Amino acid sequence: MASEISYDLIVIGAGPGGYVAAIRAAQLGMKVACVEKDRTLGVTCLNVGCIPSKALLESSELYAQAKDKLKDHGVQVQGLALDLKKCMERKDQVVAQLTGGVASLFKKNKIDHILGSGQLNADHSVTVRQNKEETILKAKHVLIATGSSPINIPDVTVDGKSIIDSTGALALSKVPQKMIVIGGGYIGLELGSVYQRWGSQVTVLEALDRIVPAMDLEVGKAFQRVLQKQGIEFQLSTKVKKATVKKDGTVEVAVEDASGKAATLSADVVLVAIGRKANTEGLGLDKAGVKTDERGRIQVNEKFETSLKGVYAIGDVIAGPMLAHKAMEEGVAIAENLAGQAGHVNYDAIPSVVYTWPEVASVGITEEQAKERKLEYKAFKFPFMAVGKAIAMGEKEGFVKLIADKKTDRLLGAHILGARASDMIAELVLALEFKASAEDIARTCHSHPTLSEGVKEAALGLGSGTIHL
């Protein structure tokens, strides 16, 4: 059935990229529809990604504090017990509140949520299928923001019970005694931390010789040591060949090390977290004439235009870091471009955060990248051990590492391992955005006592010298 309505913009996918683009486009006066097959908006980020994982990270960190840290503050805890059902219910409430919030924003901005799967046609109309019904929607512009989904390993079949992906890890009904995590990246370390805090014996198997490969190497190594001290075991340079669920529900994992030596490990639950792939299946891209790259991501130019005129793509479905805030920035930029404004995303200033405890937050280039690019750079590390607030909080682990151009002093990269690094990185993102020098940061007055004094001291360390070290 052909739709009567003609929209200015149809967005396919209501994840953080899609829903933000829809809202900004509507605010800029466009008539917008958002095609989404899930009833709840927000998709991966809000339903089975960033938000529920952060809710569980918070709950599990509080449990770990009650178990191990509160006694240092003179708080005696007796009869400590985990109510996993309650944690999961709380997480579901958090998700419901936020997805409901996006639905209200759609209503407020008069955006039509069209329930169903969208498929693109060559005339850039969109066919929406829901149950057996088919509707064709027409618009001046179509934006594909269909996100990504977990990559699977052949011979490791996710069954949602013994072998799970990130979605399964957000809904376990029991804390496993032994958990194997395949992949030492964002998801593996965050969700591995959750279950380690709740008492699981967690082993991370990582194919490469380092965890979180994109992270500054020095920071990554220090991060691994911190997690090891908490009880997480790591087997690096270890490739998983096969996982078999046995009759008793435990899983046997066949691995091979860098020299080709084989071994077998066993666990109650195996979490597969080896990365994500762009969701392009069923979109009809080939037929419509939208080109993809060798990794199946939609090719776009700097204006997010695909090879088909009037069709655009943003977020995890195009190249770049698979991060919700990168997709959101792109969502705003594309809406502004379509409204005739100059939407822009500065890809050199996209922060990334691992929400373990302590956290790791980074922006800009790593020291390895500075070397690869043959830049003349200087780097300085200031430890939280020398920050008054960190000592008062009992959070002395970690450091702030800054990298700046040797000649111009311009900030090139910032990496923080420490408590609340996710909040502290914001000033360094702003510094990069404003092309600040290390001296600019060092001369900025930072409240005392705060953890962010570590940032100021690291900047001082790149110039006239630190005060507290």
Kindly state whether residue 187 participates in binding ligand NAI, applying the rule CB under 6 A: yes
Rounded CA-CA distance 334/352 in Å is: 22
Tokens of 408: 């111009």
Kindly state whether residue 322 participates in binding ligand NAI, applying the rule CB under 6 A: yes
Tokens of 12: 């396919």
Find out whether 126 and 10 touch, Cβ atoms under 8 Å.
yes
The residue among 32 and 274 lying less far from ligand NAI, judged by its C-beta, is 274
Kindly state whether residue 276 participates in binding ligand NAI, applying the rule CB under 6 A: yes
Q: How far is the CB of 220 from ligand NAI (least distance, A)?
A: 10
Rounded CA-CA distance 98/47 in Å is: 9
Q: Is 448 a catalytic residue?
A: yes
The size of the interface with ligand NAI (CB under 6 A), counted in residues, is 27
Residue 50: alpha-carbon gap to chain centroid: 6
φ/ψ (deg, to 5) at 239: -105, 135
Q: Per-residue x/- mask for ligand NAI, residues 380 to 419, rule CB under 6 A? A: ----------------------------------------
Tokens of 341: 């404004």
Q: How far is the CB of 302 from ligand NAI (least distance, A)?
A: 21
Of 160, 213, 282, 394, the one binding ligand NAI by CB under 6 A: 213
Rounded CA-CA distance 118/130 in Å is: 9
Kindly state whether residue 321 participates in binding ligand NAI, applying the rule CB under 6 A: yes
The residue among 236 and 386 lying less far from ligand NAI, judged by its C-beta, is 236
Find out whether 165 and 158 touch, Cβ atoms under 8 Å.
yes
Rounded CA-CA distance 408/377 in Å is: 9
Rounded CA-CA distance 401/294 in Å is: 35
Of 7, 106, 186, 195, the one binding ligand NAI by CB under 6 A: 186
Q: Which one is catalytic: 141, 415, 448, 468?
A: 448
Q: Which residue is nearest to ligand NAI (CB)?
A: 185
Q: Within positions 128 to 167, which residues make up the interface with ligand NAI, using CB under 6 A?
A: 153
Non-local CB neighbours of 229 within 8 Å, separated by 6+ positions: none
Tokens of 412: 């090139």
Of 31, 90, 140, 239, the one binding ligand NAI by CB under 6 A: 239
Kindly state whether residue 274 participates in binding ligand NAI, applying the rule CB under 6 A: yes
Of 84, 207, 245, 319, the one binding ligand NAI by CB under 6 A: 207
Residue pointed to by tokens 């709740």:
198
The binding site for ligand NAI (CB under 6 A) comprises 153, 182-188, 190, 205-208, 213, 239-240, 273-276, 321-323, 352-355
